A and B are shown apart, each in its own frame.
Chain A
């Protein structure tokens, strides 16, 4: 049964898995690499996984898990933004859970932005940061032409 106090608690004990795992959100090892210089190496591998297959939700969860576990505030916010963009209004329960349970690491402003988005679903209310990889970097409107029926 899921515990309400922990984001990634499950009823079964899960062993940390290799980064290639698509079954487990708790990745802690990078196969093929003999030395891991720092936590950032694992985080970087997961971001590349997200980039290679943006619609693969497990990679997003792994990214959020790693950023949350290692208290990486800006990367965590970016991971949540990228997840919301991919979900595009779908997966409301997953979005809610990820945002509410990582709240302790988010600033008040970041939390407000994310919860506001959940209410409105307006992507222009989702300001990117340096670590977002799926945002388009727009500063204006993508619409310059509109269709008019004559």
Chain B
């Protein structure tokens, strides 16, 4: 018989894919809630059973271990040896360099659901404003058609893209659902959500826009 035990001396930190999972949909599930709780913390929490139970909002040790095991299997969480503090400072100071690192071309824009751009890398101001407006319009269309997309076509992604003849994205729009706020990341070319900077970006937004 075997049982799972926690590794000593680690702090829990979401992975880029875990962050993407957490903020790419509004559907409520235990794993998504757990990662979102991690992203609300001002620093990476220590890996112990009581902390886990609190973050996961579960009573039993068994449930906490099972959920952590599931997240580990999915590659959504990782353990770091030293605690990391959430990004501090003004968003408009820290966001542009983070955005730059999640795209190959460096052309990235972060805007809100109303079509106002919050931070930008690479695009000119004028283009950024136009793209922010487009992203808001796409979001309106998506909301209007989401039932058909999910129920009839079983497409549960919220992202939209302008594609070339091969179906490759020339310009992509990825909504981020953070607390009650919604943002859109617009990327020209190949997106790199697999970068550690994506975690920092989501953490920076979550600590400011998610209610604890």
Residues of A near any B CB (own CB < 8 A)? 19-20, 31-33, 40, 44-45, 47-48, 51, 128, 130-150
Contacts and interface: CB of A to CB of B under 8 A. Distances in A.
A23 to B, nearest CB: 18
Nearest to A48: B168
A67 B143 CA distance: 41
A133 to B, nearest CB: 7
Interface residues of B, number: 40
B104 interface: yes
A144 B194 contact: no
Interface string B5-48: 11100101101110000000000000000000000000000010
A92 to B, nearest CB: 26
B210 to A, nearest CB: 21
Nearest to B7: A144
Contacts of A146: 4-5, 7
A56 to B, nearest CB: 15
A128 B192 CA distance: 12
B7 to A, nearest CB: 6
A130 B168 contact: no
Contacts of B189: 44
A127 to B, nearest CB: 11
Contacts of B3: 147-148, 150
Contacts of A149: 1-2
Contacts of B164: 32-33
Contacts of A133: 190, 192, 194
B125 to A, nearest CB: 23
Contacts of B68: 144-145
A139 B2 CA distance: 29
Nearest to B66: A145
A78 B165 CA distance: 26
Nearest to A143: B7
